Amino acid sequence: MKRNPRFVKIKRNIDSLKTRRFGTRTVTVAAPENMETTLELRNNSQEMRDTISRYREMRIEFDDQLDELMVRKVRLQRQLFERPQ
């Protein structure tokens, strides 16, 4: 899951939007709804904040899936490797 191309793009775009830029007024990133299209956003605009929040929601969904997989992995490891008593 951590190597899923969509997850990597989400993470990269969040980092790109959060980093400070000096001398540029716009940032170009992929649209959250369709990663094939690009958006040109003004720094610190409401549209940029909305885009960051949409990307965060998408990342939270992936994090929830990762958490579920970790719980399942631990449960399966216990079933396989613990001695029955």
- Domain boundaries along the sequence of the chain: 5-81
pLDDT at 85 over 70: no
Q: What is the pLDDT of residues 15-56, one digit of tens each?
A: 988 887 777 788 899 999 998 999 999 988 999 999 999 999
pLDDT at 57 over 90: yes
pTM, entire model: 0.78
Q: Give me the pLDDT at residue 83, please.
A: 74
Q: Give me the pLDDT at residue 19, please.
A: 83
Q: Give me the pLDDT at residue 44, please.
A: 84
User: In 31-60, which positions are buried (b, 16+ CB within 10 angstroms) versus exposed (e)?
Assistant: ebeeeeeebebeeeeeebeebbeebeebee
